[in-house]
Amino acid sequence: MRYLCLIYDAESKWTTMTPAETGAFMGEYGAFTENVKASGHYIGGNPLKPTSTATTVRVRSGKISTTDGPFAETKEQLGGYYLIEAKDLNDAIQVAARIPSARIGSIEVRPIMEMPHP
């Protein structure tokens, strides 16, 4: 099954970390990504730019409206994702628990709804 692991943590933490700490954390992410590629779990994944760069788009009565900022203001923000292939939810939980941000933020694990291919 495919699962999307959504990484939520406080963006503000990046402003309080020293360059050395940031480097170490990014290093952990690099190692994790290599690890899940080697284990065959990895399908894709990316970090996102901060929510200050987000634009929320809606179409109402045929008109596009855009607002600055994310869909919802929350204490932890969506900061990136991994798309993984896992045997089942237990396997996916084991992978999600190894994402470095799981220790400071939270990972939401969502199964992908498989659509029939034409």
Partner 1 sequence: MVNDATAVEARARAQIDELYRSESRRVLATLIRLLGDFDVAEEALHDAFAAAVERWPSEGPPQHPRAWLISTGRFKAIDRFRRQARFDASFAAVADRWEAAMPGSAFDSEAIEDDRLRLIFTCCHPALAADARIALTLREVCGLQTEEIARAFLVPAPTLAQRIVRAKDKIRAAGIPYQVPEMGDLPERLDTVLHVIYLVFNEGYAASSGASLTRHDLSTEAIRLARLVVELLAEPEAIGLLALMLLHDARRDARSDADGHIVLLDDQDRTRWNRAQIAEGQLLVEQALASRRFGPYTIQAAIAAVHAEAADPGATDWSQIVGLYDVLLRIDASPVIELNRAAAIAMRDGPEAGLALINAILARGDLVDYRLAHSARADLHRRLGEHAAAIAAYERALALTRQEPERQFIEQRLHQLRTSPRCPMPPA
Residue ranges binding partner 1 (CB under 8 A): 1, 3, 86-90, 92-93, 109, 111
Smallest separation, CB 13 to partner 1 (Å): 27
CB closer to partner 1, 31 vs 89: 89
Q: 76-106 b/e with 16+ CB inside 10 Å = b?
A: bbbbbbbebbbeeeebbeebbebbbbbeebe
Closest CA to 17 of 75, 9, 96: 9
CB closer to partner 1, 35 vs 56: 35
Smallest separation, CB 88 to partner 1 (Å): 4
Smallest separation, CB 111 to partner 1 (Å): 5
Smallest separation, CB 90 to partner 1 (Å): 6
Closest CA to 7 of 67, 47, 62: 47
Lookup: tokens for 45: 């994944």
CB closer to partner 1, 10 vs 109: 109
| CA 96 – CA 114 distance, rounded (Å) | 20
CB closer to partner 1, 46 vs 90: 90
